[in-house]
């Protein structure tokens, strides 16, 4: 996907998330009788605006990195006597709490709706059946064997690869033990086993839970026949075509695609003699793999080809269909699970159980948004739901300048019966702003390093 499409999808995602968040504040403010002066998506110079019959300006601004709702407030300027009853600062502390909490609440509601739509369309995923176990790995220590289906991790069901990955990701940075429940084909007997972990993958910049645990899951055999040759790649320049069958390379015959792929990856910049079969004829083509740098920093060779893959057998894919009510219930559960996962990950970041290199900023979000859009509407909506949950959780953190900071002040006011002093609020605002800028700077720094 090119840069322009990536930026467009990122702006679409950000625009939807910000609009819903701010609409939550806007709607509850209106319900509480507060006059809203401006509803803006973006900051800075206004590119477009219009007014409604209540005098509220709806605007789209030049810097698309957030948004805001500006309400009538005596602390920000003089208020006419006849409008004092519509000023935010004149409302009860409970009304102000409701208005501040409405933004994050809107994000959680949006996540539920998005997951609801995804589940109504039905979902599917490959069954996590063990194909290989890496010697000396956690999987081997637990006693996992080829042919077993992993049906649960730590008592939580893992019906698909995605579910297994999420359960393992939830243990990143933990110490203790990971418990697996497995069964063999054509058997209802369950076996339970465990392996010890100690600050598992705590320092990993881009953790790969499934790979690091030492599991190779079963996939259909990959053919040595090429399905696609990327335009402008080393393979394309060498004359390789879709439909070519790789017979040998440098005179060596390989057992399968994975072995051949590893051979190419290890030879960036080295000329290779690739022998292929094309329409019954044997051809030998010189190909020099280009050197590419992965997100992990590893440099590998790549020629730009994709193989033909066999279809998945029906018994190795789980398909889930939900009715309207069932999809809604699943959407609520998914939102709850991902919220707990986000909170758990934040806790681990704070206490050093996860590397701060896992923080991502707008560049990474843009790339992921573009990739998910390429994969289809369900993938894009699922990403939007996850981002919406993250936005809701982050805004509830008790940091001044965020909704959670305002809720903290209002909570103190509700308990002590009087507002937090202006001096404390100003100091909190300065500290909160500095903290948020540091976090944003670190996330952007991580993004740039990944480039």
Place of tokens 């398909």: 319
Q: How many helices (H) and strands (E) does the chain have?
A: 12, 17
Q: Which position among 22, 149, 275, 334 bears the catalytic label?
A: 22
**How many residues appear in the chain?**
451
Dist CA 146 CA 136 (whole Å): 15
Q: How many CA atoms lie within 13 A of 393 on its CB side?
A: 20
Tell how far CA 37 is from the center of its chain. 34
Cα 94 versus chain centre, distance? 34
CA atoms in the 13 A half-sphere facing the CB of 201: 21
Q: Are strands 272-278 and 245-249 parallel, antiparallel or unpaired?
A: antiparallel
SS3 152: strand
Catalytic residue list contains 259: no
H/E run at residue 57: strand 57-71
Q: Edge to edge, what strands does the sheet with 191-197 contain?
A: 156-157, 149-153, 176-183, 191-197
Q: Hey, how many other C-beta atoms are within 10 angstroms of the C-beta on 65? A: 12
- Give the C-alpha separation, 78 to 192, whole Å: 68
Task: Give me the phi and psi of 222, to 5 degrees please.
Answer: -100, 125
DSSP 3-state of 252: strand
Complete DSSP assignment for 261-289: HHHHHT-TT--EEEEEEETTEEEEEEE-P
- Residue 204 DSSP one-character state: -
Bridge-based pairing of strands 281-287 and 191-197 is: unpaired
Residue 54: Cβ within 10 Å count = 10
Catalytic (active-site) positions = 22
């Amino acid at each position: 996907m090119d840069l322009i499409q990536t930026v467009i999808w990122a702006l679409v995602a950000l625009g939807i998330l910000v609009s819903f968040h701010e609409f939550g504040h806007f709607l509850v403010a209106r319900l509480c009788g507060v006059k809203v002066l401006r509803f803006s998506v973006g900051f800075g110079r206004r590119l477009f605006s219009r007014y409604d019959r209540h005098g509220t300006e709806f605007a789209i601004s030049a810097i698309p990195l957030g948004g805001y709702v500006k309400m009538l407030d005596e602390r920000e300027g003089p208020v006419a006597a006849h409008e004092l009853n519509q000023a935010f600062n004149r409302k009860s502390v409970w009304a102000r709490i409701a208005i501040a909490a409405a933004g994050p609440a809107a994000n959680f509601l949006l996540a539920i709706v998005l997951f609801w739509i995804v589940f109504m369309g039905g979902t599917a995923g490959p069954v996590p059946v063990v194909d290989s176990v890496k010697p000396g790995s956690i999987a081997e220590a637990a006693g996992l064997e080829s042919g077993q289906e992993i049906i649960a991790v730590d008592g939580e069901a893992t019906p698909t690869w995605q579910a297994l990955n999420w359960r393992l990701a939830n243990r990143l940075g933990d110490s203790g033990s990971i418990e697996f429940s497995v069964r063999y084909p054509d058997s209802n007997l369950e076996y339970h086993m465990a392996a010890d972990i100690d600050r598992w993958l705590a320092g990993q910049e881009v953790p790969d839970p499934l790979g690091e645990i030492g599991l190779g899951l079963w996939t259909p055999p990959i053919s040595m026949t090429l399905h696609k040759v990327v335009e402008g790649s080393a393979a394309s320049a060498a004359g390789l075509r879709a439909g070519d069958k790789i017979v040998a390379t440098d005179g060596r015959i390989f057992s399968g695609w994975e072995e051949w792929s590893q051979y190419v990856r290890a030879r960036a910049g080295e000329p290779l003699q690739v022998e292929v079969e094309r329409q019954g004829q044997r051809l030998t083509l010189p190909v020099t793999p280009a050197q590419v740098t992965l997100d992990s920093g590893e440099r590998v060779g790549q020629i730009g080809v994709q193989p033909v893959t066999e279809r998945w057998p029906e018994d190795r894919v789980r398909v889930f269909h939900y009715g309207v009510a069932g999809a809604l219930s699943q959407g609520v559960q998914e939102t709850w699970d991902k919220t707990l996962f986000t909170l758990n990950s934040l806790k681990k970041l704070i206490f050093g159980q996860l590397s701060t290199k896992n923080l991502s900023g707008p560049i990474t979000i843009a790339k992921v948004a573009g990739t998910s859009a390429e994969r289809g509407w369900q993938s894009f909506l699922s990403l939007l739901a996850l981002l919406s949950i993250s936005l809701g959780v982050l805004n509830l953190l008790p940091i001044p300048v965020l909704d959670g900071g305002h809720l903290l002040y209002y909570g103190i006011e509700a308990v002590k019966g009087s507002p937090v002093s202006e001096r404390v609020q100003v100091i909190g605002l300065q500290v909160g702003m500095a903290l948020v800028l540091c976090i944003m700077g670190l996330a952007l720094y991580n993004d740039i390093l990944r480039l």
